[in-house]
Amino acid sequence: MTSIEAKPLALGLMEALRQWFLAPLARWKGQGSSWTSLVLRLLFNQQTPGFRDQSVSLGVLGLSHFFAISGFHLLYLRRVLSRFFLRLGCLKESVAFWLPLFLLFYSWLCGWPIGSIRVLGSWGLVTFSKHFGDQTMTSLDRLCLVGLVCLLCQPGLAFQPAYLLSFSLSVVLIFANQAMDQPKHYGWRHQVYALVACLLITWPLMMDWRYEWYPLQVLAIFLLGIVFESLIMPLALVSSLTLILPGLDRLASLMDGIYQVMLGMLSPIGKFFSWHVITGRLSFIYWFIFLILFLVWLRWGWHHPWTTGAVLVCAYGLILGLKPYLHWQSSLTILDVGQGDSLVYQAAWSKEAWLIDTGGRPPYPASKEGPSFDTQYGYYNLIPALKAQGIGSLTGVMITHSDLDHIGSLASLSQEVAIDNLWISQHTASHPVWQEIKPYLAVSTQVHVLGPGQVYSIKEGLTFYTNDFNQATAPNDASIAATLAMGRHRLLNLGDMSGEYEQALIEHFPEIQADILKCAHHGSRFSSSDALLNHVHPKLALLSAGVHNTYHHPHPDTLAKLSNRGIPYFATPYHGAIRYEWSDWGWENWRTVLEAQQSTYPKSEPGQSKR
């Protein structure tokens, strides 16, 4: 694999020309300089590893839009360059002719960001209107026309956050200016009013995309906005010259050093601004309420800012404070974490949430240094899935055993989601991977270690069982089993237990009963034994495995065994995430992300509807 080299892509003529113009910047893209990476992104739309490291913090603070090429950048450059050339003695007509051409060239050089297209399109329509003497087209008309042309040329833009934010915020600013009677000069009050109006639109969008709300963004954006135009943009323009002109590397290094010192000083402040609330995905009713609040601010915020602001603060606090409790159904979700296991249970009318296993994988590429697990893998599946369901804390987490595909994402999970209680077996507690993960856990997390051959009633409806094991027992066979009451049904989860230990489990604990079976070991042919199936008589089976995994899970023999017994099943490789919802009055519903091609859906109990 290491000898395979990617074949260079054949570039078109215009793209090759653009890369030629950007060639002087290429030597800086691979360096880890923070300030240089910021300048490359801010002025040239160049994505670098150094900027990716900063982009998460900028997104948390709501400052990402400052460092993406937008209409503001073009307006700023037009104003600065116009003053510069006019003071040099250039004719006003010449500047008016050449400057738009330069901004067109600049936008092309930056890869036509959607913000520059919006501004250039609007400017073009203004020029067209003046040339033909038509002054009836308003700024909103021009914006809508440019937006429609963009969608006609590239319909996929309708699903791009950059397009939605750029045009929606422009519409908001137009309405805000109308509410402020079209001010000629912006004071701090105008800026705050427009900023709040924009945030009341972007907050719901970001809640639905990232499932989080950062209320202190309004303060961070206002403070940065004060110095952005007067300090950061001029410094970035000067820095761009040090990147392009030869012999100025030492000056660029000096500016990066100053920037690093400033970052160190501002780090504690950044932690203050990063306080947030996990919101989960928004339903239509929340979108409707947030739209009403935006219209309230737009209508009364300018003339009665303090009263309207207090109403908004109380409304947001009440809505997001009550939201975690306002789900009337309980749910169980088999998360799609690739070749691994993870399931989450949420109780109705409660913030209570329980997780069994976290998924995970070894690092790729493999390395002898560092942890034996991929510290970032949980950020790709487990953590977004929990946040999408509005889970900001977990009442309890149970790890069945020490295999990485069951415990590997626990470290990253504990960094993002508060864990009140954690249950592991003595076998897992003695495993080296546990010693690696343990330092990542919060001090407030209470760890409970379960001994062999025991039954533990954790809460009403949730029970853990441990087989007789010792240090010589394979990790799979030392898995903790669990039963969970789900309305009229009961689930049995077995971790990666083999058929031999499944039989030992039901012989030791004959009281175990369940009508829904979470098949052990991802549907391996060495699990889901006849003895187990004869004992529990499941009406439905659930399987978790990765698509096209190298282990061929779920194994055809296991699927054939289920089919021969008339047991329908859901499997994450075919259905994606699997969700069962139920209520106290008997309503229930099965949902999957994907529709599988094979006929695996439950035709009768316990299924109701599917999608």
Q: What is the DSSP string of 520-571?
A: GGGG-TTSS-HHHHHHH--SEEEE---TT-TT-SSPHHHHHHHHHTT--EEE
How do 480-486 and 540-543 pair as beta strands? Answer: unpaired
The CA distance from 538 to 552, in Å, is 23
If you average pLDDT over residues 511-539, what whole number do you get? 96
User: Residue 609 — pLDDT band, cuts 50, 70, 90?
Assistant: very low
Average pLDDT, the chain: 88
Peptide bond before residue 554 is cis, with ω within 30 degrees of 0: yes
CA distance 142 to 140: 5
Check residue 5 and give its pLDDT. Answer: 54
- CA 543 – CA 269 distance, rounded (Å): 46
Of the listed ranges 84-98, 156-170, 202-216, 223-237, the least confidently predicted one is 223-237
DSSP 3-state of 14: helix
Tens-digit pLDDT profile for residues 211-224: 999 998 888 888 88
Rounded CA separation 354/346 (Å): 7
Strand pairing partners for 332? 345, 580
3-state secondary structure 201-237: HHHHHHHHHHCEECCCHHHHHHHHHHHHHHHHHHHHH
The reported pLDDT for the residue numbered 21 is 86
Predicted pLDDT at 610: 35
| pLDDT for residue 134 | 67
Q: For residue 450, name the pLDDT band (cuts at 50, 70, 90).
A: very high
pLDDT at 61 over 50: yes
Tell whether omega for the bond before 183 is within 30 degrees of 0, i.e. cis: no
Confidence at 14, pLDDT banded by 50, 70, 90: confident
Which residue in the block uniquely carries the two structure tokens 């009713």? 285
Sign (positive/negative) of CA torsion 273, 222, 48, 243?
A: negative
Cα separation, 291 vs 272, whole angstroms: 28
pTM of the complete model: 0.85
Average pLDDT over residues 270-292: 91
Q: What angle do CA 57, 62, 68 make, to 5 degrees?
A: 85
Determine the average pLDDT of the residues in 466-483: 92
- Cα–Cα distance between 213 and 324 in angstroms, integer? 13
C-alpha to C-alpha distance for 51 and 36, rounded to whole angstroms? 9
Q: Say whether pLDDT at 365 is over 80.
A: no
Q: Any idea where the domains of the chain sit in the sequence?
A: 29-187+210-276, 188-209+283-326, 330-592
Measure Cα distances from 252 to 48, 219, 243 in Å.
16, 30, 7
How confident is the model over 555-572, as a mean pLDDT?
Answer: 95
- For 330-592, which CATH class? alpha beta
60, pLDDT greater than 90: no
Q: What is the mean pLDDT of residues 232-256?
A: 81
Structure tokens, 312: 């908004």
CA 586 to CA 427: how far, in whole Å? 40
Percent of the residues in the chain that have a pLDDT greater than 70, as a whole number: 93
Q: In the predicted model, is pLDDT for residue 388 greater than 90? A: yes
Pairing between β-strand 462-466 and β-strand 588-592 as defined by DSSP bridges: unpaired
pLDDT at 10: 56
Backbone angles phi, psi at 213, to 5 degrees: -130, 125
Q: How confident is the model at residue 7 (pLDDT cuts 50, 70, 90)?
A: low
Contact 346, 389 (CB under 8 A): yes
> Is 125 a residue whose pLDDT tops 70?
yes
Q: What is the pLDDT of residue 11?
A: 60
What is the tens place of the pLDDT at every residue in 126-162?
A: 888 887 766 778 899 999 999 999 999 999 999 888 8
Residue 459 has pLDDT above 70, yes or no: yes
pLDDT at 49: 77
Confidence of residue 605 (pLDDT cuts 50, 70, 90): very low
Q: Which residues contact 461 (CB under 8 A, 6 or more apart)?
A: 484, 485
Q: Higher pLDDT residue, 82 or 133?
A: 82
